[in-house]
């Protein structure tokens, strides 16, 4: 039984070429058993290319490569031609076609697709975190969060958590009510991680009445009473003073504006 060796060459980790080569080999009977693959990752200079071609010549291997830099692709192709080595360029033709269609030169930076994937999965993880630790459901999330939001009901804690999650921050939010002691975890975190959201009693009174009406309820419930709201806000002030965190007035701010205040604060701390 003849055996075939494929050299997988990449200026990143080589996952793409490896998967394509395996998919192709699987189309043949016992293909994955008779085709062996050796991966050469993070190939960045011509001396490495020359060494790989030399080894391929000795082992009668075929070179399959994904190199984003056009000069590296050209050098490898020429070296293979000179040494009589068969090679397959998986990246070049696609990049060249897209470049021509867009009338734009490619960046030619290795590993960009992995960076995009990592960024995507980090965002998804942050969104799932915000859902899991929304509205004080599990106080353990407070200690794991990048940002903790506290405030009375209807101060936009949940939409703000989701907005910040799309910026890849893990956010937990905790509602504060006078009848329930705040979770002790709030006083265990660094105050800089916590942001209190406050709103004028009159604005909150209007928002809560609208909320009750939307739910088909009467708007004169204790939840929307001005005296009740003032009591909640006084309780809020005592808690955030004990935490020592920043307080943001969200009375006339959109969620995006509040988020920008938080992100600017974090950015200034990180220098």
The CA distance from 32 to 6, in Å, is 11
Bridge partners (DSSP) listed for residue 149: 173, 195
Contacts of 41 by beta carbon, 8 Å cutoff, 6+ apart? 10, 12, 13, 14
Rg (CA), the chain: 29
- 154 marked ligand binding residue: yes
153 a known binding residue?
yes
Determine contact, residues 148/175, Cβ cutoff 8 Å.
Answer: no
Going through the chain in order, the beta strands assigned E by DSSP cover 4-10, 35-40, 62-66, 87-89, 147-151, 171-175, 194-198, 246-249
Cα–Cα distances (Å) from 187 to 39, 128, 152, 196, in that order, read: 51, 24, 17, 13
Give the number of residues written for the chain: 271
* 151 is annotated as contributing to ligand binding: yes
Backbone φ, ψ for residue 200 (5° rounding) = -70, 145
Cα 224 from Cα 207, distance rounded (Å): 8
Given a contact cutoff of 8 angstroms between Cβ atoms, the answer to whether 43 and 11 are in contact is yes
152 appears as a binding residue in the annotation: yes
Phi, psi of 6 (to 5 degrees): -115, 130
Q: Is 269 annotated as a binding residue?
A: no
Residue 48, Cα to own-chain centre: how many angstroms?
Answer: 34
Residues at the binding site are 151-158
Residues at the binding site for ADP are 151-158
């Amino acid at each position: 039984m003849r055996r075939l060796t494929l050299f997988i060459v990449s200026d990143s980790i080589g996952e793409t070429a490896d998967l394509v080569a395996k998919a192709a080999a699987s189309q043949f009977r016992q293909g994955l058993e008779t085709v062996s693959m050796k991966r050469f990752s993070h190939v960045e200079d011509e001396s490495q290319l020359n060494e790989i071609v030399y080894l391929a010549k000795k082992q009668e291997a075929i070179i399959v490569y994904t190199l984003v830099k056009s000069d590296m692709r050209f050098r490898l192709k020429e070296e293979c031609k000179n040494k009589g080595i068969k090679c397959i360029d998986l990246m070049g033709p696609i990049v060249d076609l897209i470049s021509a269609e867009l009338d734009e030169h490619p960046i030619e930076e290795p590993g960009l697709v992995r960076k995009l994937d990592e960024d995507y999965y980090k965002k998804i993880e942050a969104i799932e975190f915000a859902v899991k630790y929304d509205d004080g459901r599990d106080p353990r999330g407070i200690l794991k969060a990048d940002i903790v939001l506290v405030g009375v009901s209807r101060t936009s804690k949940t939409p703000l958590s989701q907005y910040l999650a799309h910026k890849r921050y893990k956010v937990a939010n905790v509602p504060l009510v006078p009848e329930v002691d705040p979770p002790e975890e709030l006083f265990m975190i660094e105050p800089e991680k916590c942001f209190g959201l406050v709103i004028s009693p009159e604005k909150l009174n209007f928002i809560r009445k609208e909320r009750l009406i939307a739910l088909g309820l009467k708007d004169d419930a204790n939840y929307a009473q001005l005296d009740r709201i003032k009591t909640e806000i006084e309780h809020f002030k005592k808690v955030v003073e004990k935490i020592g965190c920043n307080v943001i007035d969200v009375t006339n701010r959109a969620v995006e504006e509040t988020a920008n205040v938080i992100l600017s604060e974090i950015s200034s701390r990180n220098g």
